[in-house]
A and B are shown apart, each in its own frame.
Chain A
Amino acid sequence: MGWIRSFYRSTVGKKIVMALTGIIGVGFVTGHMLGNLLVFSGPEAMNKYAEFLKSNAAFLWTLRLTLLAAVGLHVHAAWSLTMLARAARPAGYDRQVTQISTFSARSLRIGGVILLVFLIFHLLHLTVGNVHPAFSPTDAYGNVMIGLSVPAVAAFYVLAMAALALHLHHGVWSLFQTLGWNHPHINPLRRRLAVLLAIVIATGFATIPLAVAFGLVG
């Protein structure tokens, strides 16, 4: 298995791992966002969906473990690449002007940290429930309604979604490059796909805390 180690030790290999785990992430957030929108269909729909997800333990744990591994690898690779980049330029410039890199690219790392913090909070908040004021393992709908009615929490959710939007705006475009899927025919579509996913997913999610905060549901 030396090749795996050597692959992962290289900057290109790490980046490929980030892209693959990123794809898992994009897949998950897309589905999760669509599922969450069921809050607008009322408690029954939402809770039925949550129940359905939990009804098959094998499926649930496969998903959870995959996600956990993906997040773990993604975060580890992100950390390691960030450290390598730091080490590669011990002395910085007095003046450095960036010419073309997007804000989303430059905010990737700090956005990643926000997402990580969010994720931990979010799991404790809506899955485990120990930072939730009135957690009920069987009432996902209620958990969301009550959980997000705290304005600071709702605000944090929205902030995290902004970070997610930026992360996707760069990440989705970038992963094609990382995986070497670049072809003159595909390249113009990459940016459009990234913008589309960033907007749809982030706004899709963000409507929920906003709707709860402004009392539009429940």
Chain B
Amino acid sequence: MNLNLTLRVWRQSGPNSPGRLESYEAKDISTHMSFLEMLDVVNERLISSGKEPIAFDHDCREGICGACSLVINGVPHGPLKGTTTCQLHMRHFSDGQTITIEPWRARPFPVIRDLVVDRGAFDRIIQAGGYISVSTGNAPEANSVPIAKEAVDRAMDAAACIGCGACVAACPNASAMLFTAAKITHLGLLPQGQPERERRARNMVHQMDLEGFGGCTNFGECQEACPKNISVETIARMNRDYRSAVLTDRGEQRAAGGF
């Protein structure tokens, strides 16, 4: 059975132009389509009728690149838990439904056009310390440091983050804590990540703040929206690492000119 839907889509022609929600009919939509395929079909029809298609970010369409990013009926990535927009299929919608589609909303994620936002802030947070400083060729033999399976499994849970920004979009404070904490947790759980653990937490948190994201009130919305089910427990870990960074690393900070 095919669906007839009404879409209300945020249209904005450029970063500095005003935007508004516009309505479109999406007729005869197969339930096997993915949400983005539904938008493809709508776009094809828009082009045919001489109207500019709706711009949205996407690439892999299999839930891993983190490019897709829509707030669907008030929920980032739509109603299905643990699922990106590109993997959301139309069978989860019903005939006659009205679907509101908006971009991620946060000051550090300015709208570029329609549903496309700039998430460069995330890269800058990683630049501030989301890595292990090992240059190519410096690595010891891979099995020289055994790592408990449980630790690796938990590190992997956190490392699964795709950098989509749904956590920011969902958070009432537009906080980037879950994204930042996921990286701090991934690296902080591994022996290789220990030498820089505290410095990493401190620098990443400061960058996160500089970008203008909000703080955390422990609402938990981020975890619900996260397509990779990253747990807010990572945030607790980040808070801990940050706290000890500031309390124990003072000398180093002063040496570095303070923050």
> Which residues of chain A have a CB within 8 Å of any CB of chain B?
2-3, 6-7, 9-16, 81, 84-85, 87-101, 105-106, 108, 170, 173-174, 176-182, 187
Contact = CB atoms under 8 A, between A and B. Distances in A.
Max chain A Cβ within 10 angstroms of own Cβ: one of B172, B212, B217:
B217
Nearest to B237: A180
A2 B218 contact: no
Nearest to A86: B214
Interface stretch (B24-32, B58-66, B68-76, B125-133): B68-76
- Interface secondary structure of B, over-half rule: mixed
Interface string B170-181: 101111000000
A12 B238 contact: yes
B175 A88 contact: yes
Interface of B: 8, 10, 21, 71, 73-75, 100, 102, 105-108, 170, 172-175, 205-206, 208-209, 212-221, 223-225, 232-233, 235-243, 246, 250, 253-254, 258-259
B243 A93 contact: no
- Interface secondary structure of A, over-half rule: helix
Contacts of B217: 81, 85, 105, 108, 174
A10 B242 CA distance: 10
A3 to B, nearest CB: 5
Q: Which 3 residue pairs are nearest across A and B when measured between Cβ atoms?
A: A180-B240, A11-B215, A97-B74
B221 A16 contact: no
21 contacts: A3-B246, A11-B205, A11-B209, A14-B215, A16-B239, A16-B243, A88-B108, A88-B212, A92-B105, A93-B102, A94-B21, A95-B71, A96-B74, A97-B75, A98-B219, A99-B225, A100-B219, A174-B217, A178-B239, A179-B240, A180-B243
A16 B259 CA distance: 18
Contacts of A14: 215
Contacts of A10: 205-206, 209, 242
Max chain B Cβ within 10 angstroms of own Cβ: one of A92, A179, A180:
A180
Given A85-B172, A99-B221, A178-B239, A11 B74 contact: no
B105 A84 contact: no
A81 B172 CA distance: 12
Contacts of A177: 218, 232, 235-236, 239
B214 A88 contact: yes
Given A10-B242, A11-B215, A99-B224, 14 more contacts: A11-B208, A11-B213, A11-B216, A12-B215, A81-B215, A85-B215, A93-B71, A94-B21, A96-B74, A97-B73, A174-B217, A177-B218, A180-B241, A180-B243
Contacts of B208: 11
Contact of B172 (A9, A98, A187): A98
A11 B246 contact: no
A93 B105 contact: yes
Contact of A105 (B10, B218, B236): B218
Contact of A6 (B100, B172, B238, B246): B246
A72 to B, nearest CB: 19
B130 to A, nearest CB: 16
Given A88-B174, A180-B237, A13 B246 contact: yes
A84 B172 CA distance: 11
Contacts of A178: 216, 218, 236, 239
Contacts of B236: 176-178, 180-182
Given A12-B215, A180-B239, A101 B172 contact: yes
Contact of B253 (A2, A9, A84, A173): A2
